[in-house]
Amino acid sequence: MLKRCKPWVTLAMLAASATQMARAELTIVITKGSDQAIPIAIVPFGWNGVGPVPFDVAQIVAADLARSGRFKPMDRQDMVSLPARGDQIQFEDWRLLKSDFIVIGRLVPGATDQFAVEYEIYNVLTGQRLAGDRIAAATSTLRSAGHRVADAVFERLTGVRGAFATRIAYVSVDGRPPKQSYQLVIADADGANVHVIASGPEPIMSPSWSPDGSRLAYVSFESRQSAIYVQELRTGVRTRASGWSGVNGAPAWSPDGKRLALALSRRDGNLDIYILALADQSLVRVTEDPAIDTEPAWALDGQSLYFTSDRAGGPQIYKADASAGSKVKRLTFDSSYNARPRVAPDEHEIAFVTLDGGGYRIGALDLKSGSSRVLTNGTLDESPSYAPNGVMLIYASQERGRGVLAIVSTDGKVKESLAADQGEVREPVWGPFAN
């Protein structure tokens, strides 16, 4: 009685331009900072064009660096001068202000609506110029240019690639049960630039970024059954990738972007892991067990999958080769409930939902040493997702009974929450690096 649905293509309901500004941005609050943050001065960028400065790039840079927890940007009112060029910096002043580094820059007007964003990073102690570059931008991309400056500063001073110029996807829910409406939302990693890319009265869940960031796979119940859709973000063109009878869930892109791992129940009601080749719709069944097998996540080499299974009683994390009938290895033992694994960008660890002291929290397991730790202290934390540089994890949490997003640094030192001004937000997934 299997009903296999042929892939079909539609335009997303809300016009081919695909996106719609619909709701206010997320508000970020840093709830726990690090006491080892590096003091840095981000001076307001110079501007010698006509009229007021079109955008405060330095403010974006400072906010990004502050959110990382690794830096403590100086308050502007404490700055005694506002240099825009290297020869204007009085290093002695900044040494007295106890700033280790200083970032200066200029917004240079070009053709209509075009700018060059120039920035330089200096070591205050030595006076040495550490880096500098020039980024071309339009008015609409000045914000994103700010994130790229922050990325450059972060990488030059920490040795780790910055992930500020990235995006997140999440699900937003309005209304109260049993009547709710659901939106699939994309925003910048700082919660700005919010766009709704799919919406409706039936649940939307489990968004997953393609490795190149051009598409999202997600589950929608719009046909009153679960089905997996793949939507191209630029055009809004949407394909139904999996519409078998029963559950179609938990899509996860393979590292080469050609396959989706997913969970299907087919007719017998038992969830197993499958791999769907997007080009020809061919399906490989990876697990065959009467338990619930779901929430696959790819290993970096695309050769194996981490997943949740309750084959030993409660849900635990397992690993299997990404092929038919492969052997399965159990990885987690520390709690009665471990689910939804996500793989760190360098695969040295996995993060997952763990039952810890009566609360569902985000745990991490070091894959080499086998030691695990709990990173959060909520009661209903779920859906962890790594930033592409591995420094932060975004996850879903609850504040006063309302769904919010939260971010924790993988060293546990920094925490922040991102709340919408209305409704609930959940299931955040961090997109890949922009290029």
Partner 1 sequence: MRKVLQPFGTALLLSLALLIAGCPSKTTTQPEAPPAPTEAPPAQTTDTTAAEAAEAARRAAEQRLLAQTVIYFDFDRSDIRPEYAEVIAAHARKLAAAPNLKVRLEGHTDERGSREYNIGLGERRAQSVRRAMLLQSAGDGQLNTVSYGEERPAVDGHDEGAWAKNRRVEIVYQ
Which residues sit at the interface with partner 1, rule CB under 8 A? 176-178, 180, 203, 205-206, 221, 224-226, 246-247, 249-250, 263, 265, 268-271, 290-292, 294-295, 308, 310, 313-315, 337, 339-340, 353, 355, 360, 380, 382-383, 398, 401, 427
Is residue 364 within 8 A of residue 409, CB to CB? The reply is no
Strand partners, 430: 168
DSSP H helical ranges for 5-84: 57-68
User: Among residues 190 and 295, whose Cβ is nearest to partner 1?
Assistant: 295
What angle (nearest 5°) sits at the alpha carbon of residue 402, between those of residues 398 and 405? 50
Angle between helices 142-158 and 57-68 (to 10 degrees): 40
Q: Which two tokens stand for residue 243?
A: 């519409």
Closest separation between CB of residue 379 and partner 1, Å? 8
Closest separation between CB of residue 78 and partner 1, Å? 43
Distances (CA, A) of 176 to 181, 308, 329, 399: 9, 30, 41, 16
User: Among residues 44 and 246, whose Cβ is nearest to partner 1?
Assistant: 246
Closest separation between CB of residue 19 and partner 1, Å? 24
Closest separation between CB of residue 183 and partner 1, Å? 13
User: Among residues 151 and 427, whose Cβ is nearest to partner 1?
Assistant: 427
* Residue 338 CA neighbour count, 13 Å, CB half: 25
Is residue 135 within 8 A of residue 77, CB to CB? The reply is no
> Exposed, middle or buried: residue 264 (CB in 10 Å: 0-12, 13-18, 19+)?
buried
User: Among residues 353 and 419, whose Cβ is nearest to partner 1?
Assistant: 353
C-alpha–C-alpha distance, residues 397 and 15, integer Å: 32
Phi, psi of 57 (to 5 degrees): -65, -40
Closest separation between CB of residue 38 and partner 1, Å? 36
C-alpha–C-alpha distance, residues 198 and 81, integer Å: 47
Closest separation between CB of residue 199 and partner 1, Å? 14
> Exposed, middle or buried: residue 122 (CB in 10 Å: 0-12, 13-18, 19+)?
buried
User: Among residues 151 and 382, whose Cβ is nearest to partner 1?
Assistant: 382
Q: Which two tokens stand for residue 258?
A: 């050609």
User: Among residues 160 and 312, whose Cβ is nearest to partner 1?
Assistant: 312
Closest separation between CB of residue 306 and partner 1, Å? 13
User: Among residues 86 and 175, whose Cβ is nearest to partner 1?
Assistant: 175
Closest separation between CB of residue 204 and partner 1, Å? 9
Closest separation between CB of residue 220 and partner 1, Å? 11
User: Among residues 84 and 353, whose Cβ is nearest to partner 1?
Assistant: 353
| Consecutive H or E run containing 149 | helix 142-158
User: Among residues 41 and 362, whose Cβ is nearest to partner 1?
Assistant: 362
C-alpha–C-alpha distance, residues 300 and 13, integer Å: 35
Closest separation between CB of residue 14 and partner 1, Å? 21
C-alpha–C-alpha distance, residues 430 and 432, integer Å: 7
DSSP result, 330-378:
E---SSS-EEEEEE-TTSSEEEEEEEETTEEEEEEEETTT--EEE----
**Residues contacting residue 235 through CB under 8 Å, at least 6 positions apart:** 16, 18
> Nearest CA to 294 among 278, 323, 313, 318?
318
User: Among residues 355 and 434, whose Cβ is nearest to partner 1?
Assistant: 355
User: Among residues 159 and 178, whose Cβ is nearest to partner 1?
Assistant: 178
Closest separation between CB of residue 244 and partner 1, Å? 12
The whole-angstrom distance between residue 317's C-alpha and the CA centroid of its chain comes to 22
